[in-house]
Structure 1
């Protein structure tokens, strides 16, 4: 799961390039967080869209 990956990267249980623990972890971590935020934002927009649609049909 993404949470496990983030936890693993965050706590340095990760060997980056050349096998140095933690090296290169931050980029991957940022990418995971960024992706997660993007997905949450899309889901929220989807919910707002549905809410508006339901409200409109309620008014009709």
Structure 2
């Protein structure tokens, strides 16, 4: 198994493609986590009016 991995990654082009695929997967995971987090925030805002008021105040102060 180790010999196979060594032969596969000894080529620079294959190793570069492997790194591109890994970085692409990490970017997709990051985007998915951010989307899930924002959807969770939206759900909380719908459920809790106090949180909605606080976020509106924070956005007003920020702008």
Alignment TM-score, normalising by the size of structure 2: 0.59
Cα distance in 2 for residues equivalent to 1:29 and 1:55: 39
RCO higher in structure (CA 8 A, sep ≥6):
1
Q: Structure 2: state its 5+ residue gaps.
A: 51-63
Q: Structure 1: state its 5+ residue gaps.
A: 1-13
Equivalent residue for 2:20, pick from 18, 25, 30: 30
Aligned length: 46
Deviation string for 1:1-59 (max 9, x for gaps)? xxxxxxxxxxxxx8454x74534111000000000000010011000000000011112
Q: Which has the larger share of helix? A: 2
Alignment TM-score, normalising by the size of structure 1: 0.61
